[in-house]
Amino acid sequence: MKFERIGMRTIKTAFAVSMTIWISNIFKIRSPFFAGIAAIIAMQTSVSESLSIGKNRMFGTVLGAVVALLFSSFAPENIVSIGIGIVIIIYICNVFGWKKSIQLSAMVFLSIILNFQEGSRFNYALYRTLDTLIGLVIGTLINYFIVPPNVEGKINEMIEKTYSEFKKMIESIIYECKKPSLEELKKHLINMEESYNVLKKDMRLHLSKKQNTYDYNWIFTAFDNIYSNLKILLSMKKLPNINEVNREALKRVFNKEISYTNDGNLDELDLIYNYHLSELLKGLDSIDKALLKVEKLSQ
């Protein structure tokens, strides 16, 4: 049986829930359960994501509560009015771009309409909103002040891993004449860019404690170019003649010679192959240099 290491996010989530329950008890919060859930949801992989999730949850809670109170005051409680209420909630969320709030808002609406008597609905809606707010605030503050998520460190690890995967793939194509799949590499590129978008949000909101963040845009562009050139190489069915310039470049990168010989007669496909191989190797070299710069900045 393999035991996984307990991560910092797990520890922070447990601490956030404990703190939320403790504060809820101090202030006599009626539903610490909902406050605890909000604290769990607030513990995201970045502080900007915590704020985004928290915003969606608050919008959903408030909207669901308001619609439920209005319907309980002016409309009869039956299956028709409940259906109309759900339609209104979904429509409002779509109009204001709160699509991630739809499910929660509908659940809050139903919980107020179906589970509480008329006289207690307002109090329940108010306390439910306050419970959610307390949990979100505590969870987000803990996520920011206690070992904040190192998004940039995660990006650097992903870049190094993707760089290594590209090299392995090129080596298998050139030296082993294989045709590997590019599907996993494409996933790596997408994940890296998503993480970088999160980092940029943190920086815009001044939520990243590190202010000298490296500009990764051109690295991702270089990876995309390598991917495109690699795709073209894999689409070519013949075993190409590799020119001397590319042979020397490959030797520098992989520290070994190509086993098959070059007969010196390069046809049109060979020229195309060597062009894209050259571009691919230039991209690898530029990323290698960029990684050294990133390493110096992080020291």
Contacts of 107 (CB under 8 A, 6+ apart): 64
Q: 36-40, 233-237, 275-279 — which is least confidently predicted?
A: 233-237
> Are the C-beta atoms of 274 and 242 separated by less than 8 Å?
yes
Compute, in degrees rounded to 10, the torsion defined by CA atoms 164, 167, 172, 173: 140
pLDDT digit string (tens) for 31-40? 788 899 999 9
| Segment (H or E) for 287 | helix 268-298
Nearest by Cα to 100 from 36, 41, 20 = 41
Whether 118 has a pLDDT exceeding 60, the answer reads no
Contacts of 242 (CB under 8 A, 6+ apart): 174, 250, 258, 262, 273, 274, 277
How do the domains of the chain map onto residue ranges? 8-145, 151-298
Would you tell me how many other CB atoms lie within 10 Å of the CB of residue 252? 10
pLDDT digit string (tens) for 125-179? 888 888 999 999 999 999 988 988 888 888 888 989 999 999 999 999 888 888 8
pTM, full prediction: 0.76
Compute, in degrees rounded to 10, the torsion defined by CA atoms 33, 38, 41, 43: -110
> Are the C-beta atoms of 220 and 196 separated by less than 8 Å?
yes
Whether 269 has a pLDDT exceeding 60, the answer reads yes
Rounded to whole angstroms, the Cα distance separating 15 from 168 reads 42
pLDDT at 105: 94
To the nearest 10 degrees (0 to 180), the angle between helices 102-115 and 79-95 is 150
Counting Cβ atoms within 10 Å, is residue 163 exposed (0-12), middle (13-18) or buried (19+)? buried
Q: 18-22, 154-158, 285-289, 290-294 — which is least confidently predicted?
A: 290-294
